Structure 1
Amino acid sequence: MELPGVQLRTLLELTRSRTMTAAAAALGYTPGAVSQHIAALERTTGAELVRRAGRRVELTDAGRVLAVHAERILGAQAEAVAALERARGEVGGRLRLGVFGTAAAVLLPPALRRLAARHPGVRVASREVDVDQAYAEVLAGRVDLALGLDYPDAPLDRDGAVELVRLRSERFALAVPAGRVPRAADRRPVSLAAAHDWILPAAGSYYGRAIRTACRRAGGEPRVVHEVTDTATSLAMVGAGLGVAPLTGLMLRLRSEGIVAVPLRETVERHVVVAVGSAARGRPSVAALIAALRAGAEGEAGAAADGAAGRPGAGGATSGSGAG
């Protein structure tokens, strides 16, 4: 009897999500695909694994038994891969890495150069994923690791099967059009929220929720006029005088023309993280890639802050750019 990993992961997600729709969202599938995975698993095992209970689904006795073993099977597979890598005594193999826009442009190139110089046997294939889906991509097994963002004001969901490894923290500043720098006394989120049009992602995103929460905590509500997700586009709009937008050192590497970074008096942060399967942490190749990404994140963010500090008054950021 063969039990495909993708079907076992679907069953495990159903035990957590309790609905086909929620499981599909977490795994990045359609509800129909989730139903197909479960139906295929039931045909293979010859047992009913889930049953409807109103809008939710419940595992049958057979489903609960298989779910316990599914977690062990998937964990054992990951541990076997890690053990084989260690037994070879070499750091090598192929890894699938999920990246989002800023990470692909700023963090990935220096990290892969560093990895290739130190561990040429490790081959990394990257694919762009929605930054809010980094955790789900690893959980679903579509990538081995994924770069993501975690916000204290809107934290990612946690699950024992996936760990978040922090690469660095960044403090937010505010990107404003050159020539419109607020007075120091007005550099609070509540004052900035009331005085400017904002360019932000949708409220349902982790990023959009985090910034709105920070403003509300200070007693203000950002007046979002332009709802934009792409960072480079947002900063271009700021440079054109269409509003203000949050800014970190890594973001500044994408665009700095026509904007000034205004430090905030309150601390608003985000963490650049890597989502990785808990069992995969023992793979030497995974450890090597995480180390390269961490070094790249620290180096690139530091360069962004230094570069910003060197360009005050020239359309770049002030020395307090909030790069962390």
Structure 2
Amino acid sequence: MEWTSPQLRSLVELTRRGTVTAVARSLGYTPGGVSQQIAALERSTGMELLRRVGRRVELTDAGVTLAAHAERILATEAEAVEALERTRHEVSGTLRVGLFATAAAEILPLALRRARETCPGITVRSRDMDVDDVYDAVAGGSVELALGLDYPDVPLPRDASLCVLPLSRERFSLAAPAGDLPGRRTVALHEMRERGWILPPAASYYGRAALTACRRAGFEPRVLHEVTDTAATLALVETGVGVSLVTDLMLRLRPSQLDVLGLSDTVERHIVAVCRSVARHRPTVAALVDVLRAAACAPAGEQGRQPAGEGGVALG
């Protein structure tokens, strides 16, 4: 029998996610691409691995058995990659990295410049994605490392197969229309109970974290504009239609004429790196995590937006 890692990974992800559509979203394939991977696996094994039940599909006994072994095969493959990297005289290799928009704009450029200086043998291929999808992307194998956000009020799900590594911590402030709160430098969340809010959807981690903070302060925010994009949120605050929560990193995305007030309430988010546990000590992964941590903690003046083009570090 012959099979490929993408075929085995598609089968394993199907046991986790239950639908071909969810697997496709996790792995960055089309649903048809996932079906082709499973079909090729069935041809190789000569056995039916999936059966259709109404509109759903489920694994056969053979599919369940192979999926269990596939997890071990993929883990062994990751260990082999780490072992091979350690035989090299320098830290070198290619890493696929998943990034949410703010990290791509504000952290990655500086990280690439620093990587070019400290570990020029590493090539980075990046992929922009929704911040709530990075955890699944690493679990599914579509990227080997990802930058994500973890909220103490709504923590990421913890999976023994994945490792969540803290990079930096940010405290939220309040963004308000310029001149809306004259003479104030700090404010408590409960004082904003009557204001209109600009927040992300409640189904997102950030949305749930914001709602939790407001509810802890004793009120339900009156969300007038449900917005995911940070730059759009800042623009709406600037026009005077509501208030929102912001961090220093978020404010770098768009020069805005608005007031930023400190919150007496503690509302935080953590910038994290996510990788598979078996890959945590891969020389390339460990080196890039160190570079990303330094970039995430760098003062605003050190951030840059020029992609690296020489020295082996590429933005793909």
Q: TM-score range by the shorter chain?
A: 0.7 to 0.9
Letter in 2 for 1:154: V
Q: CA deviation at 1:45?
A: 1.0
1:230-266: CA deviations, max 9, x gaps? Answer: 1122112212212111111111222353122222222
Aligned to 2:307: none
Q: Is the 8 A contact 2:97 2:144 kept in 1?
A: yes
Aligned equivalent of 1:227? 226
Task: Report the counterpart of residue 89 of structure 1 in structure 2.
Answer: 89
Aligned-partner residue type, residue 10 of structure 2: T
Distance 1:160 1:298 in 2: 27
| SS in structure 1 of the partner of residue 147 of structure 2 | strand
How do residues 140-151 of structure 1 correspond to structure 2 at under 5 angstroms? Answer: 140-151=140-151
1:9-88 correspondence to structure 2 within 5 Å: 9-29=9-29, 31-52=31-52, 58-88=58-88
Structure (1/2) with the larger helix percentage:
1
Equivalence for 1:217: 216
Alignment of 1:292 with 2:291, yes or no, is yes
Show CA shifts across 1:81-126 (max 9, x none): 1111111121111112111211111111111111111111111122
* 103-112 vs 151-160, which moves further: 151-160
Identical residues among aligned pairs (%): 59
Report the Cα offset of residue 179 of structure 1.
0.8
Amino acid paired to 1:12 = V
Report deviation, 1:127: 2.0
Say if 1:6 and 1:140, in contact at 8 Å, map to a contact too. Answer: no
Counterparts of 1:286 and 1:111, CA distance in 2: 13
Structure 2 CA distance for partners of 1:223 and 1:30, relative to 1, 3 Å: farther
Question: Could you say if the C-alpha distance between residues 220 and 25 of structure 1 is closer, same or farther in structure 2, counting changes exceeding 3 Å?
Answer: farther
Question: Which residue identity is paired with 2:112?
Answer: L
Give, in whole Å, the separation in 1 of the partners of 2:289 and 2:80.
20
Contact 1:148 1:275 (C-alpha < 8 Å) held by counterparts = yes
Q: Distance in 2 between matches of 1:232 and 1:200?
A: 12
Matching of residues 229-268 of structure 1 within 5 Å: 229-268=228-267
1:7 alignment partner AA: Q
Tell me how far apart the structure 2 counterparts of residues 127 and 59 of structure 1 sit (CA, whole Å). Answer: 31
**TM-aligned CA deviation for residue 21 of structure 1:** 4.7
Which sections of structure 1, spanning at least 5 residues, go unmatched?
305-324
Q: 2:12 touches 2:67 (CA, 8 Å); kept in 1?
A: yes
Which amino acid letter does the alignment assign opposite residue 4 of structure 1? T
Distance, in Å, in 2 between the alignment partners of 1:58 and 1:182 is: 61
Distance in 2 between residues matched to 1:71 and 1:302, nearest whole Å? 44
What corresponds to 1:315 in structure 2?
none
Taking structure 1 as the reference length, the TM-score comes to: 0.84
Contact 2:185–2:261 (CA<8 Å) still a contact in 1? no
After superposition, the CA RMSD in angstroms is 2.5
2:7 match = 7
User: Residue type matched to 1:292 in 2?
Assistant: V
State the number of aligned residues: 303
Structure 1 residues 113-192: aligned runs within 5 Å: 113-181=113-181, 187-192=187-192
Query: Which residues of structure 2 form unaligned runs of 5+?
Result: 304-316
